[in-house]
Amino acid sequence: MTKISKKLQSATYVHDHQALFSCPVCGEKMQVFELKSLVCTNQHSFDFTKQGYLNLTTQQINTKYSKELFESRKMLMADVGFFDSLVEKITEQIHSFVNNSAEELTLLDMGCGEGTHLVKIGETLKVQNQPTTVAGIDLAKEGIKAAAKHYPGKIWTVADLSNTPFQSKQFDVILNILSPSNYAEFKRLLKTDGIVIKVIPQEGYLKELRELAFDDPAKHSYSNKETVELFHENFRMLKRERLQYTMSLDQPSIQALIEMTPMTWSVPIDRFQSLTSEESTKITVDLDVFVGVPK
């Protein structure tokens, strides 16, 4: 049996869902041409990469998010299951607030990173007999490249979150997990009865790392007050739920956590020696999960 390339798997999937797309240059509709590129009616063309993702940015973008960071994230999320409880919670909320039917749900992860959250949620919904189209978007090319590598046959796009390459009112659910938001774009992309699920840190999130990273006790906990207020300005809160748990991580997992967490980037690595020298360490996950609809 001939093995289908990741590029062809993704191009076929995008072809089946090409009605979702709009050109990031001119806003016109797009279609897949010869399973090689995505082209708009004004002939703006974007090729599928050999890994299977699309780069739909219109200018060169540089970020601090490296290949190593996303490989650490993939290990911690997919292999260790560090955020599996969050995946379960989000899936519950989708069932609670979306009018489930035999129709296929459209699910967009804004700031998807290496894609593990989105894929796990989509697979869980599929097992529960809810067909789902999944699309992931991130400005960090290395994240999207990792997503396409590990999870071929999906929609993976490098794109500006303030100018997403999708038609208006296309998505039943927008996920925004530990990532910046663009609420105007969320509102444009959501279907009339669509929902946003936003996940932000609560005060105890990764407190074991914070206590080692910062001398100032005021920085040992996290305040999400401004983020909550901004969400309330733009969306009517259907539900707010706090998710708290601890998880024991071994040395490789602790190292991966330190590498993937932006909080640690400007901190000397030797500050975390007490964590990395232990065989296992309990780490706190403390999150707020919002479900909202546009006001």
- Hey, what domains does the chain have and what are their CATH numbers? 6-294 (3.40.50.150)
| Buried b / exposed e along 239-262 (16+ C-beta atoms within 10 A) | eeeebeeebebeeebbbbbbbbbe
Task: Note the pLDDT of residue 179.
Answer: 93
Q: Please check if 114 is assigned to a binding site.
A: yes
Read off the DSSP letter of residue 200.
Answer: E
Secondary structure of residue 213 in the 3-state scheme: helix
State how far the Cα of 105 lies from the Cα of 170, in Å rounded to an integer.
Answer: 10
34 in Cβ contact with 26 (< 8 Å): no
Evaluate whether 250 touches 280 at the Cβ level (below 8 Å). yes
Least confident of 96-110, 184-198, 222-236: 96-110
Residue 65, marked binder: no
| Cα dihedral sign, 138-141-142-148 | positive
Question: Would you say 112 is a known binding-site residue?
Answer: no
**In one letter, which amino acid is 178?**
L
| 20 HSE (CA, 13 A, CB side) | 25
Res. 277: pLDDT tops 90: no
Range scoring the smallest mean pLDDT among 94-98, 103-107, 189-193, 223-227: 223-227
Lowest model confidence (mean pLDDT) among 92-106, 208-222, 247-261: 208-222
- Of residues 88 and 267, the one with the higher pLDDT is 88
* CA separation for the pair 120, 82 (Å, rounded): 12
Q: Is the pLDDT of residue 286 over 70?
A: yes
Amino acid present at 48: F
Of 281, 227, 211, 274, the C-alpha closest to 250 is 281
Q: Is 23 one of the annotated binding-site residues?
A: yes
pLDDT, tens digit, 9 for 90 and up, residues 103-139: 899 999 999 999 999 999 999 999 988 999 999 999 9
242: left (phi over 0), alpha (psi -120 to 50) or beta: beta
Comparing 1-5, 149-153, 184-188, 230-234, which segment has the lowest mean pLDDT? Answer: 1-5
13 marked ligand binding residue: no
205 labeled binding residue: yes
Q: Per-residue pLDDT tens for 11-64?
A: 999 999 999 999 999 999 999 999 999 999 999 999 999 999 999 998 877 777
- Asked if residue 73 has pLDDT above 80, the reply is yes
Distance CA 179, CA 198 (A): 9
What pLDDT, on a 0 to 100 scale, did the predictor assign at position 267? 79
Other C-beta atoms within 10 Å of 180: how many? 11
Q: Do residues 189 and 108 touch, judged by C-beta distance below 8 A?
A: yes
- Give the model's pLDDT for residue 249: 94
pLDDT of residue 1: 45
Both tokens of 67, joined, read 């290949």
